[in-house]
Amino acid sequence: MKPRFRELVNIARLEARMDAAGLDAIVARAGINLCYLAGFAYPGTLARHVDLADSPRPIYLIWPRKGEPRMVLNAIAEGLSRRDSWIEHFDAYAAYIDNPAERLAESLTAMGLADARVGFERNYVSAADWDTIAKRLPHLRMMDSAPVMDDVRMVKTEGEIALFKKGADILDDAFMNCFPKVRPGMRERDLHGLLMNDCLAGGCEFVHGILNSSRNTIAYAGESDFAFAAGDAIRTDYVAYHKGYPGHQSRCAVVGKATPAQKSEYRVIRDLYRAACAQLRPGRTAGDVCAFVTESFGKAGLPYKPIIAGHGVGAWWHQQEPIISRDNPRVLEEGMVIAMEPHVNHWHIQDILVIRKDGAEVISSKMSTDEMFECVG
């Protein structure tokens, strides 16, 4: 295996968690684990085949506790995998002809794992594939490794943090480049298109997000033909993936000059938000942080209604454990990366932060959130 895997895989934590679970190998099928252990992200159509549990062209990555990992994949995905992954062993099957789960069973047998304890993502591998593997390898002890991998991925390496920083910088650059182009009459979808294009041109593989005018109050109904008017506040919530790792920020803007009332409202949320970020310290629980948010917003006369106040961030998919939610007992650890987003309505600030020994460090620091952005050209 190419040595750069140690830059992104928390190998000591992975081996310790595999040993604790008694696992001889892990089979990664879900994108969050496949991207993490393969060291790259599939684009476009190949990515869709990773995300669909019933895809006829799945990709499996076998990571043994000892020995070299290998990938079981269709020939269409093989070339990119050989070029970009640190994995060096590949077993290809003929898509739409061979049964991928049966090919996986053959690879497990060839690796001496036919009667071993092997972890699979029970929350992702389809029931049909699970049954196929169990029938082909009757002595294989199939375990659920999803909780193991969730725990491994939660604490990041410095290499991962550097990739988060790159994605965050690309996204902040996009906000700073595109907000000045907003004018009354521009549609939400026009600004959305500008942001998406800027992130892709800046080096991201894929981008998604939401934005809406403060007068468009239906959640997730933005990026539409709704036209901005002077004085509208603009809510954003975007994710920009660079080499599989997302920058994930929300920035507030207003069309034209902000009114004194808008500035005052924004500053109240900003200060509450920053106080909440300061709660990210090793030893606290995710539930503790959420309770602080609920209490502090309530004291400010702003009942906190969102179901979460933040979440972990990781490769392939931006919303992972630990979730900053009510009563979540997950203990925060040094090296976790959290996207904090306690917000009220369209006043939505969000950054990604890494928990250090003495507190939280902002990763997405390129664009100032001291004041909302005024779109005045």
Q: What is the pLDDT of residue 288?
A: 98
Kindly tell me if the per-residue pLDDT of 222 is higher than 90: no
Please give the tally of structural domains in the chain.
2
Domain identity same for 125 and 162 = no
Q: Per the structure block, which two tokens stand in for 88? A: 């060096």
Cis bond leading into 322, ω under 30°? yes
Task: Kindly state whether residues 266 and 244 are assigned to the same domain.
Answer: yes
Q: Note whether 232 and 101 are same-domain residues.
A: no
User: In this model, does residue 274 exceed pLDDT 90?
Assistant: yes
- Locate tokens 């203990």: which residue? 331
| Helix, coil or strand: residue 82 | helix
- The percentage of residues in the chain with a pLDDT greater than 70, rounded to a whole number, is 100
3-state secondary structure 124-187: CCCHHHHHHHHHHCCCCEEEECHHHHHHHHHECCHHHHHHHHHHHHHHHHHHHHHHHHCCCCCE
Q: How confident is the model over 172-210, as pLDDT tens digits?
A: 999 999 999 999 999 999 999 999 999 999 999 999 999
pLDDT of residue 38: 97
**pLDDT surpasses 90 at 94:** yes
Confidence of residue 221 (pLDDT cuts 50, 70, 90): confident
> Domain check: are 70 and 184 in the same one?
no
User: Are 162 and 233 within one domain?
Assistant: yes
Domain of 354, in residue numbers: 158-375
**CATH code of residue 306:** 3.90.230.10
All residues at 6 or more sequence positions from 176 whose CB lies less than 8 Å from its CB, including other chains: 367, 373
**Do 149 and 179 fall into the same domain?**
no
Q: Quick one: 185 and 282 in the same domain?
A: yes
pLDDT, residue 265, reads: 97
pLDDT of residue 3: 79
Considering the entire predicted model, what is its pTM? 0.96
295, containing H or E segment: helix 286-299
Evaluated on CA atoms 219, 224, 226, 227, the torsion sign reads positive
Asked whether the predicted pLDDT for residue 171 surpasses 80, the reply is yes
Calculate the average pLDDT of the chain: 96
| 321 and 215 part of one domain | yes
Strands 308-312 and 337-340: antiparallel
pLDDT for the residue 157? 98
